[in-house]
Structure 1
């Protein structure tokens, strides 16, 4: 029997998976934190005016709640191709298989490469300014943030840092 493909979503995959889903479960990944630590030159920004998108940044002692998706049986190859096309557009993410603590499965996960030029660390005020003003092929950067907050809340896993950032972005947006 072929091992099933699980995918861990912590940002836009939560509300916009690009593959057929058989099952989804609230999930937890230890040792990583969700962070707006990646500049977006394609989807939520441009090379001239980069936006910010979420990535998983290694952080011992931290954890990230998200969603574990079980890819529909038989669609694993197409799902993997779609994920790689979407997530590896600039090679800032590294594709890893990581053990989730909830559920207890190994999931395909996209994490930031801290050595990549798109890796960045900004304070929350700078993040808010960037997100409030950036837009790319998939729309305004603020929509990405707000959709993530909305869907995390709906799953019962609110993220206080993202809520604070969303309030700051709302205050800056027209």
Structure 2
């Protein structure tokens, strides 16, 4: 059974976002829930040659790496009925065609108490992808992010907005990888007198 087939229900589908989807879903959805998935850690190990970088300077964006001891926080979006086809078409172009991600199914656990686990579709970039960049030190990742921009903006915006989401919606969670990269990137700009970080106000969807 294909991952997509396994999450298609009778008129509704949940999609889990852990990168730019947490603050810029760009598709129609009925509702959203903040929560987490187990068995994966978020890492800036994937390349982006379109949205936040280009062929000469690939950006660093997030993917999920399997790790039994970890969990990754993000947002799950429910799309229903007529929203499903259009949403999946947009995500296929954004995440698969241009991003190089594949689809998997995961168990999403909402942060809100009393809510049961949900089966959700998630997009993951694996090491066999041509633009997968792999692990690097925080310093190396930050230096790469500081020099990259693409069709939707600077690579630093991706990092800052994702970190801001975590602080606003998951303040009790310490995402060491994300926050250490954000700190290193901002230090580069402050030390060099570079561009200002993006405005962090009103950047997130109406997550509940």
Length-normalised TM-score, structure 1: 0.93
Decide whether the 8 Å contact of 1:22 with 1:73 is kept in 2: no
- Tell me, yes or no, if structure 1 residue 114 matches structure 2 residue 127: yes
Would you identify which runs of 4 or more consecutive aligned residues in structure 1 move more than 4 Å?
none
**Structure 1 stretches lacking a partner, 5+ long:** none
Structure number having the greater strand percentage: 1
Alpha carbon RMSD of aligned pairs, Å? 1.6
Name the counterpart of 2:177: 161
Decide whether the 8 Å contact of 1:8 with 1:109 is kept in 2: yes
Decide whether the 8 Å contact of 1:95 with 1:109 is kept in 2: yes
Matches within 5 A, 1:4-153: 4-90=12-98, 92-102=100-110, 103-119=116-132, 120-153=134-167
- Indicate how the Cα distance of structure 1 residues 165 and 126 shifts in structure 2: closer, same or farther if over 3 A, else same: same
Q: Distance in 2 between matches of 1:30 and 1:20?
A: 26
Between Structure 1 and Structure 2, how many residues are aligned? 174
Shift of 1:21: 2.0
SS at match of 1:30: strand
Q: Distance in 2 between matches of 1:160 and 1:91?
A: 25
Q: Distance in 2 between matches of 1:169 and 1:90?
A: 25
Q: Distance in 2 between matches of 1:163 and 1:129?
A: 15
Q: Deviations over 1:38-59 (max 9, x none)?
A: 0111111111011101111122
Length-normalised TM-score, structure 2: 0.78
SS at match of 1:18: coil
